[in-house]
Structure 1
Amino acid sequence: MIPSSPIVYGAGVAAVLFVLFVVVRRLRAPSSDARESKRAHEAAQERDPPVEIGETYEFGVTELTDHHSGNEVAVGKVEGFVVFTADIPRDLQPGDVIRAKVLSFNQGRTSADATFVTKA
C-alpha cells in the first residue's frame, strides 16, 4: 500500500510540475535557426558593411518580399550582408543575378537599401 501522507502527495505534485515546466521551457526555447540568425545579426552589428553607398554590386536574389515601404523588393547578400533592392522588374525571380546601387544603410548598419540597375 502506498502511503497517503500530504508530504508524499506534495512531492508527487512538485515532481509533475517540474517536469511540465521543463517541457514547456524546451518547447518555447528558440530553435537552432533562430539562435543562428540572432548570432549572425549580432556579428553583423560589430563589423563594417562590405558595401558602400553609391556603389553598384552584383548578387543573387534569395527571395522577394514586401518591404516596410509597402513595395515588393528583392533580397540578396553581398559577403553575407543583406541588401534590399527596390524598383525591381516584374519578371524577377529568386535565383536571378542582379546589379543594384546601394542608396542607404538601416539604423544599425546591418543591411542596406538599394535600387535595381540591371539583370546580370
Structure 2
Amino acid sequence: MELIWVGAGAGALVLVGLFALRRRRSAEARQSKQAHEAAQKRDPPVDIGETYEFGITEFTDHHSGDRVAVGKVEGFVLFVEDVPSSLTPGDVVRAKVLSFNRGHTSADARFVATP
C-alpha cells in the first residue's frame, strides 16, 4: 500500500513540475510578444548605411539559409552576415546596416571589423 502512495506522490510531483515549466514558457512567450509589439511602435535606433559596434549574443540560421551572428543595438536586433568563423558569442563586432525587415523590428547587417 505504501508503494502505491509513493508512486502517486511521484506522479503528482511530475505533473506539478510540467505545469510550472509550461507557465514559465508561457511567460517567456508573452514577454517576447510584448517586446516585439513595442519594437513595432518605435523607430529603429539604427540607420541603413551606418556602422555600429555591439556584442554577439548568439549565432543562428537566418532565413537566407546562412549562419549569421545576432546582436543588439539599444535592444534592436541585428542579423550580421559574413562574420568570421573564429568569433564567438560575447565578441564585439562592427557591422554596417543593410536593410530592415518588413516591420522594421530587426535589420540585416554585414560584418565590417572587430574593434
- TM-score of the alignment, normalized to the shorter chain, above 0.5: yes
Task: Quote the RMSD (CA, aligned, Å).
Answer: 1.6
Q: TM-score, normalised by structure 1?
A: 0.75
Partner of 2:5: none
User: Percent of pairs identical after alignment?
Assistant: 71
The Cα shift of 1:30 comes to: 5.8
The corresponding residue for 1:81 is: 76
Which segments of 5 or more consecutive residues in structure 1 lack a partner in the other structure?
1-23
Q: How many residues align?
A: 95
* TM-score with structure 2 setting the length: 0.78
Measured in 1, the distance between the counterparts of 2:104 and 2:25 equals 25
Structure 1 letter corresponding to 2:88: Q
Aligned to 2:37: 42
1:6-21 matches, cutoff 5 A: none
The SS at the match of 1:35 is: helix
Larger Rg: 1
Equivalent AA in structure 1 for residue 26 of structure 2 = S
Q: Distance in 2 between matches of 1:60 and 1:100?
A: 10
Q: In the TM superposition, what are the counterparts of 1:17-32 in structure 2 within 5 Å?
A: 31-32=26-27
Partner SS state of residue 53, structure 1: coil
Distance 1:28 1:48 in 2: 32
Q: Name the residue aligned to 1:51.
A: 46
> After superposition, what is the alpha-carbon deviation per residue over 1:59-103, rounded to whole angstroms, capped at 9, x for unaligned?
000000110111110000000000000011011100000000000
